[in-house]
Amino acid sequence: MLPIYKTILLLICSNAFMTFAWYGHLKSLGSKALWIAILASWSIAFFEYVFQVPANRIGFTSGILSLAQLKILQEVITLLIFVPFAIFYMRQPITWNFLWAGIYLAGAVYFIFK
């Protein structure tokens, strides 16, 4: 598998864990003590790093992505993971902000990879 595809796949996995670590407790642990939510989030975040660190190393050290490109790619993947999470798991309404954020991120991708 090419390094760019490995990087993207690992970033997708990382972001899935990150999103649940950062926001999943708001739905599932809202009535629990804060320290329980923190421990649960840290436990999930461990797996985020298991995927994030190799993704960054592969993407950067292979020479296929600059640091700026790696960061923008990360942000785009974050939004691609977060929007379905917000809509389907957290039951948040779709707003124009999702569209505008996507448009601006697409612009960022264009300029950083140009």
Percent of the chain with pLDDT over 70: 100
Q: What pLDDT digit, counting tens, does each position of 47-77 carry?
A: 999 999 999 999 999 999 999 999 999 988 9
Predicted TM-score (pTM) of this structure:
0.86
> Cα angle at 49 between 42 and 66, to 5 degrees?
140
Neighbouring C-beta atoms of residue 73, cutoff 10 Å = 21
Domain extent for 102: 3-113
Confidence (pLDDT) at 79: 87
Number of domains in the chain: 1
pLDDT band at 12 (very low <50, low <70, confident <90, very high): very high
Task: Supply the pLDDT for residue 102.
Answer: 81
